[in-house]
Amino acid sequence: MKKTIIFDMDGLMFNSEPLWAQAFIKATKKVGYNVSVEIQKKTIGSNGKTFEKIMKENVDPNFPTEKFNEIYFKTMIELINEKGVEKKKGLDELINYLIKNKYKIAIASSSRTDIIEANLNKANINKNIFSAIISGNDLKDSKPNPEIFIKTCKKLNENPNNTIVLEDSNNGIIAAYKAGCIPILIPDTDKIKKETLNMAKYKFKNLIEVIELLET
């Protein structure tokens, strides 16, 4: 089995989607809009440019993205620090297993760098255990564009064909597949499409099952 593994973060490492939904609703109200959760779900996994496009197409062509983002991300960090983030089942066990067995590990998330660091700090996970952390700040295009995983593999100096990607969403699996990586799906809130399942090398219920795979 390959010895390089890339983690997505939201919905894969942490049950953070409920916090994102809360931050979204609070921030949209503060800029004068009542926006449905359905619109918020469309933004999951998107970077800044894609997020702006979604909001302007679905809410208002003049949606104040810059003002919203300032409130949105500030609110998210406040929620993380106040409530903490629930770790997904098996996260600690998998990380400990990978470190013990000398795997090279990385995080590739569409979230901003400060959000990633806030999550890791609150969860008491040392960011230095990761050989690379690529965030939305580093990207021109969001998932399903494969840019995020191509950049992560380059930073790790690893061939995508030798790299496992752990993802929970349709866009994440598509991006990993297009990058030439080995996609493993652990679904969260995203309704998984049939074509996504066909791209995933494996589908598991939780991260503990990843350890079971690696041991074989």
Q: What is the CATH number of the domain that holds 8?
A: 3.40.50.1000
Residues 128 and 200 in one domain: yes
The pLDDT of residue 47: 64
Residue among 112, 21, 28 at smallest CA distance from 67: 28
Residue among 118, 110, 117, 35 at smallest CA distance from 83: 118
Residues 153 and 187 in one domain: yes
Kindly report the backbone phi and psi dihedral angles of residue 64, in degrees, each rounded to the nearest multiple of 5, phi listed first. -80, 75
Is beta strand 182-185 parallel, antiparallel or unpaired with respect to 202-203?
parallel
Reported as a single tens digit per residue, the pLDDT across 162-179 is 999 999 999 999 999 999
Q: From CA 23, how far away is CA 114, in angstroms rounded?
A: 15
Whole-number average pLDDT of the chain: 94
The pLDDT of residue 50: 80
Residues 100 and 192 in one domain: yes
Residues 112 and 180 in one domain: yes
Residues 106 and 149 in one domain: yes
Q: From CA 141, how far away is CA 205, in angstroms rounded?
A: 29
Please identify, among 33, 60, 83, the residue that sits at the C-terminal boundary of a domain.
83
Largest Cα span, the chain: 54
Q: How many domains does the chain have?
A: 2
Q: What range does the domain containing 171 cover? A: 4-15+86-215
93: tokens are 């066990």
Is the pTM for the entire model greater than 0.85? Answer: yes
Residues 70 and 53 in one domain: yes
Residues 153 and 204 in one domain: yes
Residues 71 and 119 in one domain: no
Reported as a single tens digit per residue, the pLDDT across 62-95 is 999 999 999 999 999 999 999 989 999 999 999 9
